Structure 1
Amino acid sequence: MNHMYIPQTFNQQLDDLLNRIAEKLQLDDSRRASAERSYNAVSEWIEGDLGFFNNVPFDIYAQGSYRIGTNVKPLQGDEFDLDIVIHMTIPYEGLDPVEVLNQLERRLREHGQYKTMLKRKNRCIRIVYANLFHIDILPGFQESALDANRIVVPDRSLKDWTPSNPKGYAEWFKSKYIKEELMLLEKSLRAEDLPNQIPYHLMQPLQRAVQLIKRYRDIYFKDSPGSATSSIILTTIAGMFYNGAQSEYEAIKGIVNRAYEDLRMLNGKVLHVVNPANTKEVFSDKWINEPHLYRNFIQFIVDFKKHWDKIEDAKGIHNIIGIFKEMFGENTSTNSLIEQSDYIHKARNNGQLGVSRQSGLLTGILPSSTTVIPNNFYGSNS
């Protein structure tokens, strides 16, 4: 945490606190290490197949929150999920989608350990590491030579192929906060490494906003998790409505207010949410078939806005912490505030807190900074 600016104004302290809360929501190192070991083992096992997958060129890579850096640890010890794709590059026409799922299941059942851990899902095969995490393995085929990232994936209930684009989705999300010329090129490997944990000080406000929105979703729906809005919908809406704010607080405020206004303008019509990288993939399909899920989503956004609006009127961090406890969990919020206070007091008392003459932001002592005299720091609306 030495790379972060030390907050001085109320708004800087608010953002720092949100950043600390989100940091505590991330998977701990041991969970990530377990997931990485399992991911590598599963990848190697599929690559070693002498049957169907032996004859098919493919890449294996992570998709979803792992890929874009927005994963949060589950509430109350539930399993977290890791989504991976087997991206095959032969023509899919003429192949039976259910048979491809069966071939994947067949290969996994040939493994002494996996065979007792498998669960069939509609579009994937799940390996359940009980009480720890599960890996969802999605087989897909490149849709055409025109776009290397667009794929079709099996749908068991439809008995057909459906469109997707997990890599393109990740690039779209990153493009919301990284200029195109700075986008990192994907490594072209048979099995990509799992993306590294993004260092604390390099996490972007949009990534933090998604983590915090997802955590309040988990708390809001904790008594009926089956009614909760999916992470892919919340992440897409956040990307759609993010206004480029460099403040976590302002980023969430912009996303929630714009979503609220959009829902108000729709006046009961269902919000259409698609994969921006392949608009044939409709994330909001469930809302048409299960309207109660859409009503739950609307109520969630209304409730989120109500909580976020209260922050405008709160005086000082100690009043705001009550709102954060409700939204993000009591222990997480309290511990983040204690950690922040300790950090700032130590920096002040050690004479290590300086204000940059160029930016006015608090930072460590630098040649171009002025030392701040130690005093109490409680947060004010300055």
Structure 2
Amino acid sequence: MSLQLSDEFARFLADDVNLNKTRIGTLETRVETIERFIESSTWTPKIREFSRQGSWAHKTIIKPPGNRGFDADLLVMVEPEPGWSAADYVEKLYEPFRASGTYREMVSRKTRCVVVTYAGDFSLDVVPCVVGRQTYFGKEICNRYEDAYEGTDGKGYAEWWDGRCRYASDDSLREAVRLLKYLRDIKGTFSAKSVLLTTMVGERVNAFDSVLGTLPDAVTTLKVVVGRLDDHLKQNPTMPDVRNPAWPEESFTRHWDADKYANFRAKIATYRSWIDDAFDEPDRNESIRKWRRVFGEAFAAQTLMEEARAIRGTMATRAAVPVVGDAVALVRAAGREVLSRIPATLPWVKKIPWHMAPTLTVNVRADVYNARVGGRRLGPLQSGEIVSKGRELLLSAVNNLGNPFPTDYDVRWRVVNTDEEAARQVSNLRGGFYKSEAGHGQRWEATLYRGPHWVEALLIRRRDKVCVGRSERFFVVVE
């Protein structure tokens, strides 16, 4: 049975993926203000209605990565204005914004729209859409550079997408698309416009999914649709023409080319294998690690920090008597043997990626310095000994005679932090593998965070990249 980590995904969607309700509320308020501004401006076309478009309307809008703002689209549906060309609708809409003291420094133009930018928050594309110029129901947006009309049907597309979403339980399909868009943005390894990505996903579901219940939640839906998308891409080695299901004259692949498609095809295959691996993993900690490979360090970050803070409680179960104080006080009172109680398979501890064939003994030797450059050696450090914060440790991997290994081998170091101070930011917990940067088989590490931490040395044979030796955990307790 797959371990879906439903609570983790619910928190991840709420905290990191979904655009929060406050920002959506701000968007709605400002859009209403802009609608009133346009209606009372000198722009003369008769307005039929305003229509939300794109990810905002499709409910797949996500929180932008970093400090970037998000984009939203507003169509202004208007009747044809006698004597105007396509370019006039955009150019003349731009004029009242430029004349406004409020919007003058916020407004710009793109090919088909006027853009109002709220710095650090969002940009609103205001898109004139002419209705009934050639046929009563025909809708056309306006390309100001080519002075040409381009057919579209945003409302029809939204209705098509809503229909597709009804094949999945609740908001599962929308949430799966948000997760896929987050993956696109956080990895930055492929490019696909949101409407193209949404369409390719929407085309992979059908009424049988509703009957059979194959899309019951966001995580399962993500696995299913990415798998089907990968299968579809494998069947199409050359770029297919993806069109607007509601307006087949509109191609969504017009901004793609063969190279972008080939890269997208390859990356989806990779991410499909990662998602399947994470979804099928029965061990909770390993499943978290695998999902973090997919979605990055934000996934389950709160859980990792909570577990890091709980290390003291885990260690305390080995103490013979109750101890007042933190993990360092516990080690001082109960002895370094309590450190063995710390689990070696914490969620942020990465799995060893090399093939294991241990035949050689590897030990860790540590020396304490007061500075990394030009510092004075203060003495050796034994595993589990308490050391002051602000020191530099020179770690060396040695054999059972205390000698370094030949240059036929590389030494990689797994460095793991725990406890309250390191847990204040999930990236401080580390858990990955690092090169020997201080010389052959040697690495510097600083004692930055109070609490118990550990390192391991792994001996990698260069000719075949096999791990032929691994040290015991070497504990460093920082006070």
Name the CA shift for 1:19/1:44 in 2 (closer, same or farther; >3 Å). same
Per-residue deviation, 1:336: 6.6
Deviation per CA, 1:194-234, whole angstroms, max 9, x where unpaired? xxxxxxxx951101100000000001217xxxx62111111
1:43 and 1:266 map into 2 onto residues whose CA distance is 44
Residue identity matched to 2:14: E
Q: Is the 8 A contact 1:325 1:334 kept in 2?
A: no
The normalised TM-score by structure 1 is: 0.71
Q: Which residue of 1 aligns with 2:243?
A: 274
Q: Is the 8 A contact 1:242 1:251 kept in 2?
A: no
Q: Is the 8 A contact 2:49 2:76 kept in 1?
A: yes
Residue identity matched to 1:210: V
1:70 and 1:257 map into 2 onto residues whose CA distance is 20
Per-residue deviation, 1:303: 2.2
Q: Does 1:160 align with 2:153?
A: no
Per-residue deviation, 1:263: 1.5
1:236 and 1:293 map into 2 onto residues whose CA distance is 17
Q: Does 1:310 align with 2:287?
A: no
Name the CA shift for 1:104/1:330 in 2 (closer, same or farther; >3 Å). same
Per-residue deviation, 1:61: 2.0
Residue identity matched to 1:176: R
2:28 and 2:187 map into 1 onto residues whose CA distance is 30
Per-residue deviation, 1:317: 2.8
Q: Summarize the alignment of residues 211-226 of structure 1 with structure 2, pairs less than 5 Å apart.
A: 211-221=178-188
- Higher mean C-alpha displacement, 237-246 vs 74-83: 237-246
RCO greater where, 1 or 2, for CA within 8 Å and sep 6 or more? 1
Residue identity matched to 1:166: G
Q: Which residue of 1 aligns with 2:203?
A: 240
Q: Is the 8 A contact 1:17 1:337 kept in 2?
A: no
1:96 and 1:336 map into 2 onto residues whose CA distance is 58
Q: Is the 8 A contact 1:242 1:254 kept in 2?
A: no
Q: Which residue of 1 aligns with 2:93?
A: 104
Name the CA shift for 1:143/1:19 in 2 (closer, same or farther; >3 Å). farther
Name the CA shift for 1:130/1:233 in 2 (closer, same or farther; >3 Å). same
Does the residue aligned with 2:100 lie in a helix, a strand or coil?
A: coil
Does the residue aligned with 2:145 lie in a helix, a strand or coil?
A: coil
Structure 1 residue ranges (4+ consecutive) displaced by more than 6 angstroms after TM superposition: 144-147, 336-339
2:2 and 2:302 map into 1 onto residues whose CA distance is 19
1:171 and 1:338 map into 2 onto residues whose CA distance is 42
1:140 and 1:293 map into 2 onto residues whose CA distance is 30
Deviation per CA, 1:348-370, whole angstroms, max 9, x where unpaired? xxxxxxxxxxxxxxxxxxxxxxx
Q: Which residue of 1 aligns with 2:23?
A: 31
Does the residue aligned with 2:84 lie in a helix, a strand or coil?
A: coil
Larger Rg: 2
Q: Summarize the alignment of residues 94-173 of structure 1 with structure 2, pairs less than 5 Å apart.
A: 95-143=84-132, 148=137, 151-173=139-161
Per-residue deviation, 1:93: 8.4
The normalised TM-score by structure 2 is: 0.58
1:254 and 1:157 map into 2 onto residues whose CA distance is 41
Per-residue deviation, 1:153: 0.3
Partner residue of 2:296 out of 329, 335, 358: 329
Name the CA shift for 1:130/1:254 in 2 (closer, same or farther; >3 Å). same
Name the CA shift for 1:94/1:332 in 2 (closer, same or farther; >3 Å). farther
Q: Is the 8 A contact 1:219 1:327 kept in 2?
A: no
Q: Summarize the alignment of residues 279-294 of structure 1 with structure 2, pairs less than 5 Å apart.
A: 279-287=248-256, 290-294=257-261
Residue identity matched to 1:152: E
Per-residue deviation, 1:32: 1.9
Per-residue deviation, 1:147: 7.4
1:22 and 1:42 map into 2 onto residues whose CA distance is 30
Name the CA shift for 1:50/1:155 in 2 (closer, same or farther; >3 Å). closer
Give the CA RMSD over aligned residues. 2.7
Q: Does 1:250 align with 2:215?
A: no
1:321 and 1:174 map into 2 onto residues whose CA distance is 32
Greater fraction helix:
1
Q: Which residue of 1 aligns with 2:54?
A: 64
Residue identity matched to 2:198: T
Tell me the matched-pair count: 299
